[in-house]
Each structure stands twice: as C-alpha cells, then as structure tokens.
Amino acid sequence: MLVDLHVHTNRSSYCSGLSPQELIEKALRLGLDAVAVTEHSTHRGAQIAYEMAEGSGLVVFRGIEVYTDKGDMLVFGMSSRVGTDMDFEELYGMVRAEGGLIIAAHPTRGFWGHHRKYKGETPLEVLRRLDGMETHNGGCPPERNERAVELARELGIASVGGSDAHMHYSVGKCVTVLERFCRSEEELMEELRAGRCRGAYLEELEREPQPRVLPR
C-alpha cells in the first residue's frame, strides 16, 4: 500500500495552495492508495478531504502536524484540541493518554527560516521515545533525508515518508510503503507501530516491480 503520509490543504493550512479536490485527483493519477492530511493543529481540513474522497477509491487518513519546542510532530489517533506551538512534553503526554501515535516530521531538516522557536534537529533523546520518524520528506534535500534514514536505522525507529505537499505538483514525491492495506486511522497506527512500513521516493519505486496489496 502506498501512502503519502504528510499533506497540507488550503482548507486549514494557511501556507497551502492545494485544494482537497486537487489532492484527491493528483493522488489517484499517481496510483497512490491513500494520503494522510496533516493540517497544522486541526483536523478540519482532513475531515473535509476525507468526506470528499468517499467513493473515489482513495483512502484519506486524518492526522495533524504540531509545532513543538523539540521539532514538528505528526500525530494520529488524537481527538483533543492542541495548540499551534506546544511544549513537546505536554503534547507527548496528551498523545499517550489518548492512545495516539506520534512521529517526528522532517527531523533532520533543522532551522528552515520559519517562525518557530525550535531551530535544530529533533534531539536523539526525543526520537527514541517516538513511534517513528519521517526519513523521506518531499521538502528536504536528499542529504537531509539520507541522514534521517541512517538515524532511523541506528535507533531502530520505524521509517515513514510524506511529500509535505502544499501544492499539487509536490503530492506523492515521498511516500510510506505499508505491508498491509489499511482503511482507518486505527489500522494505520497498528501497522506503523509494528514497523511494517518504510519511507521511499515514489520515483524510485516506479523503477522496480511492486507487489500490490489488496484491501482486507
């Protein structure tokens, strides 16, 4: 199963110019099985995309991306409202209390000129506590992603990939390859926790034969 695990739409992310309809159409053209809409600190845009995708053949997972003082985090399985720039320990406690899943977004990108107060790579002591890390991010240069791949291997952390798309042309640049087909956030979290996943560049996958994973 091929999933773009990190996408922003213009319904809730002010920094995005990508509409939910454009996202759905582009993902289907690329042959993706699913996308995860991860707006900044809200599920609103993800819910809109989820409803619009019904009947299209594309699965939409609903997550959020949260700025923290220890780096940006992708979160799944949490219903509580979160702040726009949180203390990592506070967010971590909330996620664990709700049985959610937390992944480091672009952990090796470092300061990228944004307003956020954290300006370095996600600390190793933080990465070790997470459920996974984004080793393939469409907005990062190859050398930053290569470093993330090495870190994930050294730390024994699950590897995932996402385009971090804010425009239609970025959708699907990086993806997560899942061993099993998932239709819900619960099934997705189960696979990620089990480590039955890996991050990849879509263009590299297109050069090699890929066994298709049938829906359960």
Which pair of structure tokens corresponds to residue 173? 């640049």
Residue 216 in any domain: the answer is no
Residue 211 in any domain: the answer is no
Beta-bridged to residue 178, according to DSSP, are 197
Dist CA 61 CA 67 (whole Å)? 20
Give 77-119 pLDDT, tens digit per residue: 999 889 888 999 999 999 999 999 999 999 998 755 455 555 6
Least confident of 50-54, 115-119, 135-139: 115-119
Element (H, E) at 97: helix 88-97
185-206 in b/e burial notation, b at 16+ Cβ within 10 A?
bebbbebbeeeebbbbbbeeee
In this structure, are strands 174-178 and 197-201 parallel, antiparallel, or unpaired? antiparallel
CATH (domain of 199): 3.20.20.140
Give 154-173 pLDDT, tens digit per residue: 999 999 999 999 999 999 99
Residue 158 in any domain: the answer is yes
Q: Which domain holds residue 129?
A: 2-205
Query: What is the secondary structure of 66-94 as a DSSP string?
Result: EEEBTB-EEEES--S---SEE-HHHHHHH
Residue 189 in any domain: the answer is yes
Residue 162 in any domain: the answer is yes
Residue 19 in any domain: the answer is yes
Residue 33 in any domain: the answer is yes
Provide the domain count of the chain: 1
